[in-house]
Amino acid sequence: MQNLLISLLESSLAMSAIALVYMAIAPLLSKKFTAKGLYYAWLVIVVGLIIPFRIHPQESAININTLIPGLKAASGSFGEHAVSAATVTSLVIPWSVLAGSLWLVGAIVFIAYHAVRHRRFLRMVKRWSDEITAPLVLSTLQDVQTKLGIRRQIGLKVCPGISSPMLMGFARPVILLPAGNLPADQLELILQHELVHFKRGDVWVSVKLAWAVI
């Protein structure tokens, strides 16, 4: 448990530093690399945040024990000298248990909060969205799918409760459009944008980002 937490802290610090540097130099990189290349670079950072294990030499670049020297001392045996009640408590309960418990509670609260919000959103979409049956719109969707080489059928609905187009769903992907008439040229660009998200698997990337935050 203690080794796992130390590994999590070290990798989180290292990848957070890399992410900050990447964000700082992103404007320069955008002049030399494509948006797709920058996108996959972010994915590497996200995966690094999710996976705490590294293949590294015996000495880590960032050693959590040097940053927080009292962590391991808190889990040591009881000293010979008298100490305060707070110190006794920290000695009886290892720091790894306290830190692990705090992380677990935070993760549960984070997941519960976003699960409730997502459930409310799904209920709103189910109640207020309507299938789009206009032949011209469906034909445009089919044409864009054919250009992008997407054979899977993607649903298309209009939902007054959203302010911008979005893609949602894993088993049954659907594109949601806000209420209001869209010009034909804008509609094709919007559908292409959302279908590129589907082809790249960005819905799964959103899940990875949420897991990285945890």
Which ranges in the chain are annotated with CATH 3.30.2010.10? 129-202
CA angle, corner 86, sides to 82 and 91, nearest 5? 70
Averaged pLDDT of the chain: 75
The CATH architecture assigned to 129-202 reads 2-Layer Sandwich (3.30)
Q: What percent of the chain has pLDDT over 70?
A: 68
Q: Is 99 exposed, middle or buried (0-12, 13-18, 19+ CB in 10 A)?
A: middle
118 has pLDDT over 60: yes
What integer pLDDT is reported at residue 145 of this predicted model?
A: 93
Which alpha helices (H) appear in the chain, and where do they start and end?
2-29, 35-50, 64-67, 71-74, 85-92, 95-128, 135-148, 184-200, 202-213
Give the model's confidence band at 204: pLDDT under 50 very low, under 70 low, under 90 confident, else very high: low
Task: Give the range among 29-33, 57-61, 106-110, 125-129 with minimum mean pLDDT.
Answer: 57-61
Q: Is the pTM of this model over 0.85?
A: no
Per-residue pLDDT tens digits for 168-182? 888 888 999 988 777
